[in-house]
Chain A
Amino acid sequence: MALRTLIARNPLRAAAPAASRGLQTFSLPDLSYDYGELEPAISAEIMQLHHQKHHQTYITNYNKALEQLDAAAAKGDASTVVKLQSAIKFNGGGHVNHSIFWKNLAPVRAGGGEPPHGSLHKAIDSNFGSFEALIQKMNAEGAAVQGSGWVWLGLDKEFKRLVVETTGNQASVVVLILHSTPSVSLSSQDPLVTKGASLVPLLGIDVWEHAYYLQYKNVRPDYLKNIWNVINWKYASEVFDKESA
């Protein structure tokens, strides 16, 4: 971990342009803490798998899909361009979401678990009644996500308010997918912006089973209860202040 570069790098921008056409691809962002530093809320084993395997796989597949998209678009191959959309949405969404998630977490020594102060604190009180009420709401909605997804605290820039949203397999749009003709993309890695163009994610909690299963097994509510001990409200406040200016 310590050998990683100190150069500040936005992982959601291109890390390395591909050779010929200037296609931007992506690489795994570093964590600013060691895998074990979020224990006992989240185990080191989970953090390592989640970061090095799951997130890396989203990036690898996203890059592959982007390269295929680039080639297809250059050739004017419309049906391939369309066919790639679900892979791009899923893997790109996975990359976007997890990049935010790592910043949403911090060890206790770095302020993890410390409630927000200042303007975000005020906004939480006025939108939800109290900090505790927000936690309860996010825990309830996170536990209720069927299957895989995320629970978000977002800023609605248009209406200047905070919202709690979930992105996940939505009951009303599930369809049976014939393998040979994938048509509807599933929402389980949809970024928050797919729920509303004016929504900015402040805080996301991954409720896919891979985020907690090795430690909490089927008891997702315990994971949700404990993760607040390592939530990095400093980052959420920074984003809030910047986006509500």
Chain B
Amino acid sequence: MSMLEAAHEHDIELEGKDDSADFLLIFLRACEGSLACSTCHVIVMDVDYYNKLEDPTDEENDMLDLAFGLTETSRLGCQVIASPELDGMRLAIPSATRNFAVDGYVPKPH
């Protein structure tokens, strides 16, 4: 089972987001696991766990190229398969609004 499916089934709340996994189900699986988008992009928080994962294929790398907020330890959630040695792995999702600072400036209505 991939991380994406696990989040789906067990209502896991991923770090960095206030909303529940429901939010994730709707928003983060546009292509429903067929390696045609990057909406399930997750960041592996500990590099030790990142290194335990199998290298991404060319196809996954092609999609990661376009992912929002790409990092050195980014993977597609639909390609990270659960296994006993990954027990305790923490995943984060990049927040889009983090990069769009609402600086408190209130524009004058027209």
- A in complex with B: no
- The chain A residues found within 8 Å of chain B, CB to CB, are none
- The chain B residues found within 8 Å of chain A, CB to CB, are none
